[in-house]
Amino acid sequence: MITILASRIRALMGWESERGQALVEYSLIMCLVVIVILVTLIVLGNQVRNTYCNIQGAVVGA
């Protein structure tokens, strides 16, 4: 009887649902993507800035 009651409480509270788990997994993936983008920008930031400055100089000088 107690196990039946406990299973009903779990079902009502949504503890058997995996939606929360999927949300956490997607959040972790998004955090990983953001970290990779930030590291890439930090590493390549000066090169990108120099490229834009060269383009700007060529457009203004023309």
Q: What is the pLDDT of residues 6-47, one digit of tens each?
A: 777 777 766 555 666 778 889 999 999 999 999 998 999 889
Two tokens at 7? 């299973």
What pLDDT does residue 15 have?
Answer: 58
Letter for the amino acid at 61? G
Query: Roughly how many angstroms between the first and final C-alpha of the chain, as a whole number?
Result: 85
Q: Count of domains in the chain?
A: 1
H/E run at residue 49 = helix 19-61
pTM of the full structure: 0.51
pLDDT, position 22: 79
| Encoded amino acid at 34, one letter | V
* Range(s) of the domain holding residue 53: 2-61
Q: Which residue has the higher pLDDT, 9 or 53?
A: 53
